[in-house]
Amino acid sequence: MADATTIPSLTLNNHRLIPQEGLGVFQMTDFNTCKQAVLSALHSGYRLIDTAQVYQNEAAVGAALQVTTVPRDELFITTKVWLTAYGQQQTVESVKKSLTRLHLDYLDLVLLHEPYGDYYGAYRGLEQLVTAGLVRTIGVSNFDAGQLLDLSHQMSIQPAVNQVELNLYQQQAPLRRYQQSAGIALEAWAPFGEAPAQLFAEPIVQQLSRQHGKTPAQILLRYLTQLGAIVIPKTVHATRMRENQALWDFALTPTDLHQLAALDRGHWLSPDRHSLAATQHYMDLIDADSDSESSNGRV
C-alpha cells in the first residue's frame, strides 16, 4: 500500500486537516465499479473521498468503507446536499440518510451542492449537524464570492470549503483571491475540465511534461495544488489513480506557473451556474420536486 502521508494536508479555518488530493466519484453510477474504485484509491494511499447525494452512489462508497482496512480516523469523507433537500430540517434529515448509506457515524465534510433555493435554511441545518457531532466541517459548492461573503455574515460557522470548477481554462483568479483573504479553502472539481484532451494537448503543458518528466495530467494537477487548491480527480482505473497521486515529488517553477496562468480563459467549460438560464434551470428543479412531493402527500 502506498504511504498516505505522500499526499499533504491543508489546515481548514476550523483547524481540521483535509488531504490536498482525493478521489471524486461523480458519474460512477455502477455499484460495483464505484465500490472497487474507492477501494483501489484507499489501497493506493488516498484518504479523501468525495461523493454527493445526487450522484446516487453513497451506498457504493459506504460498501467500500465497510470493508477497507484503513482506520476511520485516517479517512476524510465528503458528501454534498442536493438543493431539493434544502431547508433546515430537510437538510438535517437528508444528511442523516447519507450517513446511513455511507455506514458512518459522522461525516468529515458536508457541502451545499448549489447556491439556489433555501440555502440559508440548509446551511443552518449543517450548523445543527455540527453541534450534534454528526458533521465535523461544513461548506458549499459552486458559490461565487458575493454569495460566500453574504453567507459568512449571516451564519454562525464560516464555510470552510467552496468546491468549484477550477482548471487550466477556468482558473477563478478573483474567487481565489477572495477565498484566500477570507480563509475559505478552494476545492477543484473537474480539474481537467470538460475536455481533458484539449488541455493535455496545450503546447505549454506538453513542454512542461517533457521538461519535468511528468504526464500532462500530473502537470495540470500540480499547477492547481500550487495555487493552493484541493483536487479530486475522478477515475475508476487504479493505474491512473497512482499516476494522479504522483504529484508531490516535483514543483513547477515561477516561470512555469506564469506560463500556465497565461492560458486562463476566464470562462466556464461547463454551463455558467450564475447565468439567468442556469438559475431558471435550478429553480425548475426545485419546483418540480415540490410538485412531486405535493402529489405524493409529503408536504
C-alpha cell at 296: 405524493
Alpha-helix residue ranges (DSSP H) falling in 157-195: 173-182
CA Rg value for the chain? 19
In angstroms, the CA 13 to CA 11 distance is 7
C-alpha cell at 290: 415540490
Alpha-helix residue ranges (DSSP H) falling in 75-190: 88-102, 119-131, 145-154, 173-182
Q: What residues are labeled active site?
A: 55
The residue behind cell 464505484 is 34
Q: 119 — phi, psi (to 5°)?
A: -75, -20
Question: Given CA atoms 44, 45, 50, 56 in this order, what sign does their dihedral have?
Answer: positive
The residue behind cell 515561477 is 254
Helix then strand count (H, E) for the chain reads 12, 10
Closest to 19 measured CA to CA, from 230, 235, 246: 230
Phi-psi region of 63 (alpha: psi -120 to 50; beta: other; left: phi over 0): alpha
